Amino acid sequence: MPDSTKKAIQHLRKRPIGLLVVISAPSGAGKTTIAHAVMKQVPDVVRSVSVTDRDMRPGEENGKDYFFVTRPAFKKLLSKNYFLESATVHNNNYGTPRKWVEKQVKEGKIVVLVIDVQGAEQIKKLYPGCVSIFILPPSMKELKQRLVKRNTETRESLTVRIRNAMVEYKFVHDYDYAVINDDLNVAVDKVTSILNAEKCRVLRWIERKL
C-alpha cells in the first residue's frame, strides 16, 4: 500500500472527519424537525444553537432552541465579530457563534446549522467545503397549511413568511442537495445518507479543512 494511502487511512481512523452542514428551507418546510431527528440518528452530529433577538415562542427553551437576547445585546455581539454568519429574517436577527462551530468541526463533529438562505450564502463563501441542503415542502398549499396549523404566527407574520418562501425557493439551485419533505422519515433518512456519504468523500480525506 503506498505510504500516502496508508497515511490517509491511519489519519481517518485516528480522528473522524468533521463536517459543517447548512440546512435551509422556507418556514414551515420542517427543517428544525428534520435537524432534531437527524441528530438522534447520526453519531457525532451536533446542532448549533443560534443567538436571536426575536420573541420566544410557546414551548421554546432558552439555550436549547435559541439563545434569546435583547436587540441591543445582539448588536453588541455583532459588532464584536462574534458571529460566523448573521441574518435578519422576518424583522428579527439571528447569528451563529463562530468559535464554538469551528472547534466542533475540528474535533470531528458534524455541526448542523439550520439557517436561512442569506446566512447560508455567507457560510458557503467562508467555508467552501461545507455541505448545503435545502428542504422543500411538498407544495405551497401544504406549506400554508403547516404554518396555519403551527398557530404561532399572527396573520401579518404569516403573510410575510409565505411571501419570503416564494423568494427563498429560487435559492434551491445554489445548494448541494435538495430533499422533499413529504414524508418526515424518508426526508430524515435522506439527510442522514447525505451526511454519511459526505464523510466518505475522498477530497475530505485529503484536504481535511472546513
Q: Which is nearer to a copy of itself, 4 or 154 (CB)?
A: 4
Taking the least distance from each CB to a copy of itself, the nearer of 139 and 152 is 139
User: Of 73 and 200, which has the nearer Cβ to a copy of itself?
Assistant: 200
- The Cα 191–Cα 184 span in angstroms is 11
User: Helix crossing, 155-168 with 140-150: angle to 10°?
Assistant: 150
| Closest approach of a copy of itself to the CB of residue 64, in Å | 28
Give the interface with a copy of itself as residue ranges (CB under 8 A).
Answer: 1-2, 4-5, 8-9, 12, 133-134, 136, 139-140, 166, 169-170, 172-173, 175-180, 189-190, 192-194, 196-198, 200-202, 205-206
- Number of neighbours of residue 127 by Cβ within 10 angstroms: 18
Q: Are 179 and 160 in contact (CB under 8 A)?
A: no
> Which residue number, 66 or 175, has a Cβ lying nearer to a copy of itself?
175
> In this structure, how many other beta carbons lie within 10 angstroms of the beta carbon of residue 62?
11
The C-alpha cell at 40 is 438522534
Which residue carries 439550520 as its cell? 114
Q: In angstroms, what is the minimal distance from the CB of 170 to a copy of itself?
A: 5
Q: Minimum Å distance from CB 187 to a copy of itself?
A: 10
Q: What are phi and psi of 147, to 5 degrees?
A: -65, -40
Name residue 15's amino acid. R
Cα separation, 136 vs 110, in Å, equals 22
Residue 165 Cβ, how far from a copy of itself at the closest point, in Å?
8
Q: Minimum distance from CB of 152 to a copy of itself (Å)?
A: 23
Q: Which is nearer to a copy of itself, 65 or 189 (CB)?
A: 189
| Inter-residue contact 2 to 113 (CB < 8 Å) | no
Residue (115 or 195) nearer to a copy of itself, CB: 195
In the complex, the smallest distance separating the C-beta of residue 201 from a copy of itself, rounded to whole angstroms, is 6
